[in-house]
Structure 1
Amino acid sequence: MEKKTIGILIYANPDHYPPTINAVHLLSEHFDVVLIGRNQDPPFWQYPANVKVHRLGKYTSVKEREQQSAVIKVREYINFVAQASRLFKDVSLIYAYDTFGYAAAYLSQLMKARSIPLIYHNHDLDNQLFPLSTLSGWVQRGERQWVHQANFVVFPSQERGFLFKKVTNFRGELIIVPNYPRKSYFPEHQDFANIILKRFENIQILLQGSISIKSSLLELIESLTFLDNSIKLKLIGPIQETEKSLMKDFALDQQVADRTQYFMPVPYNELASHTWLATVGVCLYKKTDINHQTMGTASNKIYEYAACGLPVIVSDQPNYREHLASESWVRFADPDDSHSIASAVQDILSDFTKYQAMCLAARQAFAQKYNYESAFSPLLVKIDELVNCSQLAKH
C-alpha cells in the first residue's frame, strides 16, 4: 500500500535540530515526507530514502544571513513561502517548526485550493516582541493571529506550553513532546562495562551544546580549582567570540587552562562518540529566561548524556527537580556556585561502585522512558488520524 505524504517545514537547516531529525525519522516509517528547510550551512545528515529534502534559497551561512538587510530578508521569506506552497502541493498534512516555519506554513496554505491539517511545533518561547520594522516582528504577530488554525500545538515543556497559551489565548489542544533522543540512534555500547571503567580512570567533565556565561561557563572552570588536578573539563559547541576570549583569560587566571579543553561544534552524527568517552555530563542554566528555567524536559543534552550512560549534573531549580529528582543518576547544583558544582562532581566520583551504578541507571532510564520513540508515540497516533481524515475529505 502506497504511503501517504506529509510535509515538514523549518525555516532553518533541519540538520541542526536533533528533535526535528528524530521526528523526521519516526514519521518516515509511516509516511513519505517532503522536508523543507533553508539552504544555510553545509548539510550533513543522511535522511531515510523516502524523505525528499528541499533546501531553499541561495546558499549562505547563518552569520551571513543575520547581516542581510531587512528588504533582502523579507524578499527571501516571501520566496520561501511561495516555493513551499508549490512543493506541498500533494501533501496530506504540514508539520511546521517554530515561529517562522509556522507562519510560512500557514501562508502557503492560503495559496492552496483546499485546507489540510496543520501542526505547530515550537521549541523555545520568544522573550520579547520584535518591532514591526523587522521581519521577525511581523512574523511573530502573524503567528499569534494564525496559531488558532493549528490542529495541535506542540512544546517540549509543559510550562512553556501553558505560557504560550496564555500569551496567544490559544484554546486548542496542547501536546507535550520532550526533547529526548531516539533509542534507535543510541544503541547500547557493546563495550559498556569497560567504557565505564575507563571513564573513571580518566575523568572528564563534559558540557556539550551552546557554551556561554548563561550555561555556567565560568563557574564550571572555577570548579576545577576545587577538584583533583587530573580532572579535566571538555567543552564542545558554539560560543560567541567575546565569551571565548573571556573563557581563555579566566582559565589562565584560575591556573586551569591546561585542564580546560574547548572544541568547535561537530555534526550531530559525530557527537555521541565524544559523549560515550566522558565521565560526567553537565547541563547548568542560570535563571536568565523562561526557556532556561524549563529545561527539565526541553534539554536534549540531558538525555543524550543518559543515552550514553553518563551521570548528569543539572541546575538546582524547581523545574529540573520536578522531572528528575527521583533519578539516581542525576545530581543538582547551584549554577551560580562553583563550590556546589564541584561538590556534585565529587559525590558522583566518590566511589567506583556507586559511579558504575549511576551509569547503568542512566542508560536504563533512557532505554525505558526517556527516548523519543516513547515521547512521540501519542502524537504519531493523532497525526495518522488527521492524515486519514484529510485523505477522506480529498476524495
Structure 2
Amino acid sequence: MKKIFLIIWADPKFYQTLIFLSQKFSKNKFEVYIIFRNLTHFKDVIKKVNFGKNVKLLKSPNFLNSKFNLLNYIIFNFFIVIHLILKNPKNVIYFNKKALLNILFAKIFKKKTKFIYHNFDFDLLNSAKNLGERLLIRLEFYCSKKCNYLIFPSRERSKLFRKHSKNILSKYYYFMNCFPKKFIINNSIKFKKFLISNKLQSKKIICHLGSIGPNHFLEEIIESFKFINDKFILVIAGSSINRFGDYLKKKIEINNLKKKIYIIEDVSNNYWFEIVRKSHLGLCFYKQTSLSHKYMAGTSQKFNNYLLFNLPMIVNNSNDFIKFKKNEDIFEIVNPKMPKDIAKKIQYLLNDSNRYEEIKKNLSKAFNSELNFDKQFENSYKRFI
C-alpha cells in the first residue's frame, strides 16, 4: 500500500481541507499518516473527526510545558524524521511554514520522496514586525524551493508567493477550501432548543460564523442592528479571541440589543452546521489587515460553509470579492465600515425574494460545478499524486 504523510504543527481537526484530503487519500488506497503537534492541554471544541480508513494519527511527544515551544518544536522535527526513515512514504505534504521547515532535515534522508507544500496562510517581508518574523518568512521562501509542488488557497496568493519568493523551481497549484459534494452532516437539535427557549422560532436569522475577534467588523455589525427591525436576529457563533466575545456582549447590552443579538462561543461542528442550516443569511467580513484577509473570496471557511448550505451571504467590498463576483454572482457586497449600509443590505436581501432566490440558484450551480472539494482535488493533487 502506498504511504503518504500529512504534517502540520497544529491540531489537524481544525483544518477541513486537511481532513478531506486525508479521507480522499484513504479512499484511494493510501496508507495515510498524519503527524501533528501535541496540544492535549488546550480546550478541545471539536470532539470527533473522521479522517478516513487506513489513517494513523501520530502525535508528537510533548515532554515540556507549553512555554517551551522551541524545545517541543525541535522534538517535533526529530519525530518526523524518525518516521520518515522507518515508514519511507512516497509523498509528504507539509501544511504551513512551521511544518515546511522540516524539509531541511527530511531532504538529507529522503532524496526520492515527493515533497508538497500546502499553504493556508503566509506573510510578506514588509509585514514582518521583527527580525524573527523576517527570518521565518525568508526560511519559508527558501524551503519552498526544495518542494516539488506548492499549493495555495487561491490563484492570487500563489502568484504573490511566486513573485516574492522568487521560486521558479516548484510547480504551482491552487486549492480553495471547499466542501465535498457528498459531505455528510450529522444531525443536531441544540440550536433548535436554543431558539425555542428564547422564543425566537419566528425570527429571520442572520449568522456570522468563525473567529470572534477584532478583524471581522463585528462591532459595526452589532451597531447595524440598531437600524434593523425586530423580525431579524443576529447569531455570532465561534471561538472568542482574547475574550473579545465578552467585550461584544457588553457592547450589545449598552446598545440595548440583547433581544436581537446572541453570541454563542465554542460551538461543536454539528452545532455549527445546525446554525447555518437554520439561518436565512450569512455575513462574511474581513478587515484588510493581513495578506490572507485580502484574498478570502472562495477560500474563506465561513464563505464555504455558507456555500455548502446554499445560504445567501453579504461580504465586504474588498477588491478580491469584487473581482470574484464578476464570475460568480453568489453574494451581495457592502461597505462594512458603515452600519446603516449593512442594515439596508440585510433588509434588502431578505425582503427581495427574487434576488434572494437568484443568489440561491447561483450558489447551487457554483458549488456543483467548481466550488467543491472534488473539483479542487481534480485540478491539483490528482495531477501529480
- TM-score between the two structures when normalised by the length of structure 1: 0.84
- Report the equivalent of 1:54: 58
Q: Aligned residue for 2:107? A: 109
**Displacement after TM superposition at 1:176 (Å):** 0.9
SS at structure 1 position matched to 2:20: helix
Equivalences for 1:34-49 in 2 at 5 Å? 34-40=33-39, 41=42, 42=44, 44-49=48-53
Number of equivalenced pairs: 362
CA contact 1:45–1:269 (8 Å) conserved in 2: no
Unaligned stretches of 5+ in structure 1? 190-198, 385-395
Partner of 1:264: 265
Match of 1:179 among 171, 177, 191: 177
Offset at 1:200?
A: 10
Match among 88, 91, 100 for residue 89 of structure 2:
91
Instruction: Write out aligned runs for 1:87-166 (5 A).
Output: 87-88=83-84, 89-110=87-108, 112=109, 114-126=111-123, 128-129=127-128, 131=130, 139-166=136-163
- Given residue 10 of structure 2, which amino acid in structure 1 is its aligned partner? A
Residue 275 of structure 2 is matched in structure 1 by 274
Aligned to 1:391: none
Counterpart-to-counterpart distance in 1, 2:304 and 2:117: 23
Match of 1:17 among 15, 22, 32: 15
Partner in structure 1 of residue 307 of structure 2? 306
Deviations 1:270-324 (A, max 9, x none): 4212210111011011222221111012212112102111001111121112113
SS at match of 1:213: coil
Moved more, 12-21 or 350-359: 350-359
Structure 1 partner of 2:167: 170
Query: 1:23-57, CA deviations, whole angstroms, 9 ceiling, x for partnerless residues?
Result: 22222222221111112144631221211111212
Residues 206 and 233, structure 1, Cα contact 8 Å, conserved in 2: yes
Shift of 1:101: 1.0
1:118 is paired with a residue whose SS is: strand
Of 231-240 and 320-329, the range deviating more from structure 2: 320-329
Which amino acid counterpart does residue 80 of structure 2 have in structure 1? Answer: A
Q: CA deviation at 1:351?
A: 3.4
Conserved 8 A contact 2:19-2:50: no
Partner SS, residue 144 of structure 2: helix
Following superposition, the deviation at residue 371 of structure 1 comes to 0.6
Call closer, same or farther: CA 1:202–1:352 in 2, change over 3 Å.
farther
State the shift of 1:4 in Å.
0.9
Higher helix share: 1
Shift, 1:185, TM fit: 1.3
TM-score under structure 2 length normalisation: 0.86
Does structure 2 conserve the Cα–Cα contact (< 8 Å) formed by 1:27 and 1:380?
Answer: no
1:109–1:326 CA distance, 2 compared to 1 (3 A): closer
Give the percent of matched residue pairs that are identical in Structure 1 and Structure 2.
22
> Superposed, which structure 2 residues align to 1:1-395 within 5 Å?
3-30=1-28, 31-40=30-39, 41=42, 42=44, 44-58=48-62, 65=66, 68=67, 72-88=68-84, 89-110=87-108, 112=109, 114-126=111-123, 128-129=127-128, 131=130, 139-171=136-168, 172-185=170-183, 201-352=202-353, 354-384=355-385
Q: 1:173 to 1:354 in 2, by over 3 A?
A: same
